[in-house]
Amino acid sequence: MPTKYADVAGCATNYYYVGKTTLPDVVPDFSRGRKLIFIHAAGSNGHAWHRQYDALGAAHSPIALDLPGHGRSAGVEGLHSVEAYADFVVAFADALKIGAAVIVGSSLGGAIAMDLALRHPGRVQALVLMATAPKFNIPAEGIELWRGVTMGRAGQPFNNDGYSPKTIAEKREVIQEGWGEQIRTDPRVRWGDYVVGSKVDLRERIGEIATPTLILAGADDQITLPADAEFIHGRVKGSRLEVIADAAHHLTTERPDEVNAAVAGFLAGLPGSAA
């Protein structure tokens, strides 16, 4: 999948897209189906969505960006609040001359997407929220551990916590790939994202989201619980919830076919979609 840089408020922002490559100043063709902007999780990057944009790219125009400081985007730090990230995604859409799009977010990216839908509703055609919550349970020791990584007290940790037992038993390569994605971003940025995540509390506000919303959760997710997904489902009118079996926090890489089918089906059912 090709990548390209967009200058977003002076930040060279890397993004993945599908289709023909174009000259630097020429925005690629995003006229196929729906435009989808994928927002990755804490410390992650756009490439983590590759099974999604590969699958959806034939019928739609998926775009997965690396937020500042993440992956191949420039900068040594991320941004310092969900609101700053949401505003950045809007500025990114402006740079790509995208008015409204389907906003897809996972984990912290889901919180960014929810904030974006609340404060920039005109930019959101629909919302897809995966492995996310209106308030994250990020233990203080976890944040301190990552601060310790940035201070050289320990090497960066990685474990199976975000994966379902079935993945752990049968799909080790998916977990291996997860480690590969983790080390593509400076631990300092991941630490900053956990601090950002610890301040998120959207529980009161998500009732105001008035856009078609799909919520996906991994049945075995212990980081953001299926109960969190149900909470969002309960507050966002007209939202659809699907809990995917044999998947946990990394459902996008654990059960990509089910995730992709759910998203494709949701997109097909949106008002204004071709029959």
Partner 1 sequence: MSLSRKVAVTGVYEHPTRFAPDKTMFQIMAESVRGALDDCGLTIKDVDGLLTAGMGMGAMAIVGFCDYLNLTPNFVDSTNIGGSSFVAHVAHAAAAINAGLCEVAVIVYGSTAASSRFAIGTGGGGHGGDPCDQYESPFGPTTVGAYAMIAQRHMHDYGTTSEQLAEIAVTMRLHASMNPVAKYRDPITVDDVLASRVISSPLHLLDCCIISDGGGALVVTSAARARDLKKKPAYILGVGETVRHAARGQRDFLEIAAAQSGRLAFERAGVAHKDIDMAMIYDSFTITVLATLENLGFCKRGEGGPFVTGGRLRFDGALPINTDGGGLSSNHPGMRGMFLVIEAVKQLRGECGPRQVKDCKIALAHGTGGALGTRHSGATLIMTNQ
Residues 266 and 258: their CA atoms lie apart, in Å, by: 12
Hey, CA dihedral for 115, 86, 178, 1, is it positive or negative?
Answer: positive
Strand-pair category, 11-17 with 3-8: antiparallel
CB atoms within 10 A of CB 31: 8
Q: Is position 74 an interface residue for partner 1 (rule: CB under 8 A)?
A: yes
The residue from 58, 154, 169, 245 that contacts partner 1 (CB under 8 A) is 154
Q: Is position 268 an interface residue for partner 1 (rule: CB under 8 A)?
A: no
Q: Is position 9 an interface residue for partner 1 (rule: CB under 8 A)?
A: no
Nearer to partner 1, 69 or 218 (CB): 69
Q: Is position 12 an interface residue for partner 1 (rule: CB under 8 A)?
A: yes
Nearer to partner 1, 154 or 169 (CB): 154
Closest Cα partner for 4 from 63, 45, 60?
Answer: 63
Nearer to partner 1, 80 or 172 (CB): 80
Residue 130's SS3 state is strand
CB atoms within 10 A of CB 235: 18
The residue from 73, 125, 211, 252 that contacts partner 1 (CB under 8 A) is 73
Q: Is position 75 an interface residue for partner 1 (rule: CB under 8 A)?
A: yes
Q: Is position 76 an interface residue for partner 1 (rule: CB under 8 A)?
A: yes
Residue ranges in contact with partner 1 by CB under 8 A: 5, 12, 14, 69, 72-76, 151-155, 186
